[in-house]
Structure 1
Amino acid sequence: MSEILVVHASPRGERSHSRRLAEVFVTAWQAANPGARLTRREVGRALIPPVNEAFVAAAFYPEPDARPLPMQADLAFSDELVRELLSHDVLLISTPMHNFSVPSGLKAWIDQIVRLGLTFNHTLDNGVAQYEPLVRGKKALIVTTRGGFGFGPGGELEALNHADTLLRTALGFIGITDVTVVDAEGEESAERTFQISAAEAEQRLLALVREF
């Protein structure tokens, strides 16, 4: 039975469209998978520490099993987030697009879970860096909302959409390549326009429940 980790990235609460759409999927998924484990991780309205010098020094310590206690403390929260990710089969990220990318809390979460020796490995081949993803057998669903239109695949503003690209790249780097994106666009347009887009997104999400 699948276990799902839901990462909410919007800094808004009840007014968040990405949260609402994601919860449409979650409600249907729970109904189809009674008793399955579901974990919610808040990164939009809770402080996710940014990577700093102490984090980098601890993460790249040459003997991970012999890290000094202060370094272990520097990585404690990251360790928790990585364990959480690895213990679930499905990752659901709900996020708006902010200024062509993702909210800062979600970027901080990504920085915390992309970890040498845990989610990826790094070696040198004749002095050239080689990377190996360590995460296996997981699927991801990204539920995203955008203020304007045309940021999706084939849209006239697709090149400005660095949110989807960032998420696909970061998740793929650690080994999560089975990624589905469901979007709703036009929040900054006429209300009816966005309502239509959001309703279409809801139907896509409900249709995806059986696949996750």
Structure 2
Amino acid sequence: MNILQLNSSARGEASESTRLANRITERVAAANAGAKVTVHDVVRNPIPTLDEAALQAIFTPAEQRSAEQAARVVPADAAIAAVQAADVLVLAVPMYNFGVPAQLKNWIDAIARAGVTFRYTATGPEGLLKGKKVFVALTRGGKYRDTPADSLVPYLRTTLGFLGMTDVQFVYAEGLNMGAEVAQAALQAAEAEIAALELAAAVA
């Protein structure tokens, strides 16, 4: 089994989303002997923003790309290959201004490639990254779960589902900036959610 963990917090080692994602990865790996874990921190090792040069490189046939264009698609190609190889994804996602971190958005833009990770058919789009389990560790300073202000969950469900990843489970840690007691209770609740995660679907 291959487990791919994506960290996207700007807080480095102090990140609660990363810590919770680490716990999820540890549990999945422990439940699957011989599991291989790959960790990509998209803040420390960012994928370039999707810009005009990147689009031109992507849409140019590989054999016709210039040296610069070939180099430009390398990070996105590597990100796609890592996702294709993964059986389980663990995403560490803090909420920044009601959205995902910019570096995580860059990763999503990199792996969403027509004809590779999704395709258009006569009946609509079809995701090609099927058969994967996704765990998402969500951290927020306030409390937004099940409210209209929680834009992250619908966005991630839609985006991941579009790519074929429909088996997505969220773990929440909210109110982390609402005082020490609230934060401690939230992290304890998140740890309890992780301890109760159903891992059977993740077993190869």
1:152 to 135, 145, 156: 145
The SS at the match of 2:168 is strand
Q: CA deviation at 1:118?
A: 0.9
Separation in 2, partners of 1:199, 1:45? 28
Assess if the C-alpha contact under 8 Å between 2:173 and 2:186 holds in 1.
yes
Q: CA deviation at 1:130?
A: 3.8
Assess if the C-alpha contact under 8 Å between 1:10 and 1:45 holds in 2.
no
Separation in 2, partners of 1:72, 1:47? 18
**Counterpart position of 1:195:** 184
Separation in 1, partners of 2:29, 2:127? 30
Q: CA deviation at 1:54?
A: 1.6
**TM-score, normalized by length of structure 2?**
0.90
Q: CA deviation at 1:111?
A: 0.5
**Counterpart position of 2:75:** 77
**Counterpart position of 2:65:** 68
Assess if the C-alpha contact under 8 Å between 1:60 and 1:116 holds in 2.
no
Deviations 1:19-52 (A, max 9, x none): 1111122223333323211100111333221001
Assess if the C-alpha contact under 8 Å between 1:145 and 1:183 holds in 2.
yes
Please list every run of at least 4 consecutive aligned residues from structure 1 whose deviation after the TM superposition is greater than 3 angstroms: 64-67
Gaps of 5+ in 2: none
Gaps of 5+ in 1: none
The SS at the match of 1:7 is strand
2:153 to 152, 164, 175: 164
Separation in 2, partners of 1:90, 1:209? 13
Deviations 1:82-126 (A, max 9, x none): 000000111110111000011111000000000111101135x6x
- What percentage of aligned pairs have identical amino acids? 38
Assess if the C-alpha contact under 8 Å between 1:146 and 1:186 holds in 2.
yes
**Counterpart position of 2:115:** 117
**Counterpart position of 1:210:** 199
Q: Residue 145 of structure 1 aligns to which amino acid in structure 2?
A: T
Separation in 2, partners of 1:47, 1:76? 12
Q: CA deviation at 1:66?
A: 3.8
Assess if the C-alpha contact under 8 Å between 2:47 and 2:76 holds in 1.
no
| Residue 101 (structure 2) pairs with residue 108 (structure 1) | no
**Counterpart position of 1:27:** 26
**Counterpart position of 1:53:** 52
Q: CA deviation at 1:209?
A: 5.6
The SS at the match of 1:159 is coil
Q: Residue 120 of structure 1 aligns to which amino acid in structure 2?
A: F
